[in-house]
């Protein structure tokens, strides 16, 4: 058991009252001070400190998680104004485990875990208060496994909502016709959807020729606010070319909607170079 044997000298001069008594005896007979020391051989093991002094702890690993089954419902797809409270629902779809939801503000700071309100065994409601303008990121994990599309993006803009007015107008407001379209059939391609070059023209193409009749909406927002100029040019047969230019480095989000629905891949998260 013991691997090392060594000599240890114990000095008893500093051992309280016993040391004082020994010191007096040494001073009276003039003997060597080393006579106040006790010599002997002691055995020790170099691994003595490695032995545990507390009872062992048992750690339980979480079960395997298929985070791809989890659904996120009612997350805002458009921009919301600052000082607004946003709520959304996490649906388990049979996935067991614990959820961790954290909000990253536009400054890149992560807040504490958000509170989850249980609506039923399958659904949780989450609320978060947005106080800054820019891009918020919602990080969601189940059993420490991030959801496939996490972090989710929430765009906030500054400004007060338009005031209500009771003034009646003589002419009725125009109504938007109902279009028959399918945004999932819209195709997009181009370098402007994968990376951004500062002070250069960035462009991409949106092809809605197979998606039915509707309108294309494009918006680009960065950490300093919206893009100064976005040009959308119709090339015919519901095919569009989008051209934009940015001046400030940082993270950007490109939103493209076919009518009221996002096209596949939207919103796109990009970083300027």
pLDDT tens digits along 158-194: 865 555 544 455 556 666 666 778 889 999 999 989 8
* Lowest mean pLDDT, pick from 56-70, 73-87, 196-210: 56-70
For the stretch 235-266, pLDDT in tens is 999 999 999 988 888 888 899 999 888 999 99
Domains of the chain: 4-50 (no CATH), 67-157 (2.60.40.10), 183-271 (2.60.40.10)
Residue 107: per-residue pLDDT: 86
Q: Is the bond preceding 59 in cis, omega lying within 30 degrees of 0?
A: no
Q: Please check the confidence at residue 148 and state whether its pLDDT lies above 50.
A: yes
Give the CA radius of gyration of the chain. 35
> Which pTM was predicted?
0.41
Half-sphere exposure of 69 toward its Cβ, with a 13 Å CA cutoff? 12
Average pLDDT along the chain: 78
- Nearest Cα residue to 220 out of 238, 236, 234, 202: 202
| Closest alpha carbon to 232 in 265, 267, 206, 254 | 206
* Phi, psi values for residue 219, rounded to 5°: -140, 145
CB 23 within 8 A of CB 13: yes
Helix, strand, coil share (%) of the chain residues, nearest 5? 10, 45, 45
| Dihedral of the alpha carbons of 21, 22, 24, 26, in degrees to the nearest 10 | 170
pLDDT the model gives residue 171:
56
């Amino acid at each position: 058991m013991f691997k090392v044997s060594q000599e240890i000298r114990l000095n008893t001069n500093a051992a309280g009252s016993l040391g004082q008594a020994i010191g007096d005896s040494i001073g009276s007979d003039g003997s060597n001070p080393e006579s106040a020391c006790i010599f002997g051989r002691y055995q020790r093991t170099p691994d003595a400190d490695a032995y545990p002094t507390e009872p062992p702890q048992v750690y339980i690993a979480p079960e395997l998680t298929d985070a791809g089954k989890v659904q996120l419902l009612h997350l805002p797809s458009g921009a919301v104004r600052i000082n607004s409270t946003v709520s959304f629902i996490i649906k388990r779809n049979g996935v067991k485990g614990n959820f961790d939801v954290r909000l990253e503000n536009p400054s890149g700071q992560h807040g504490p875990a958000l509170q989850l309100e249980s609506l039923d065994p399958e659904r949780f409601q989450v609320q978060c208060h947005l106080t800054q303008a820019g891009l918020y990121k919602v990080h969601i994990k189940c059993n420490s496994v991030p959801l496939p599309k996490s972090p989710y993006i929430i765009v906030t803009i500054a400004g007060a909502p338009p005031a209500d007015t009771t003034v009646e107008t003589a002419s009725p407001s125009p109504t938007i016709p109902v279009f028959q379209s399918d945004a999932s059939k819209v195709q997009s391609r181009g370098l402007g959807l994968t990376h951004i070059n500062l002070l250069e023209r960035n462009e991409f193409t949106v092809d809605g020729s197979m998606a039915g009749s509707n309108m294309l909406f494009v918006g680009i927002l960065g950490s300093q606010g919206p893009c100064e100029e976005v040009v959308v040019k119709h090339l015919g047969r519901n095919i569009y070319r989008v051209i934009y230019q940015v001046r400030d480095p940082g993270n950007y989000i490109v939103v493209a909607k076919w009518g009221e629905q996002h096209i596949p891949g939207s919103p796109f998260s990009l970083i300027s170079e």
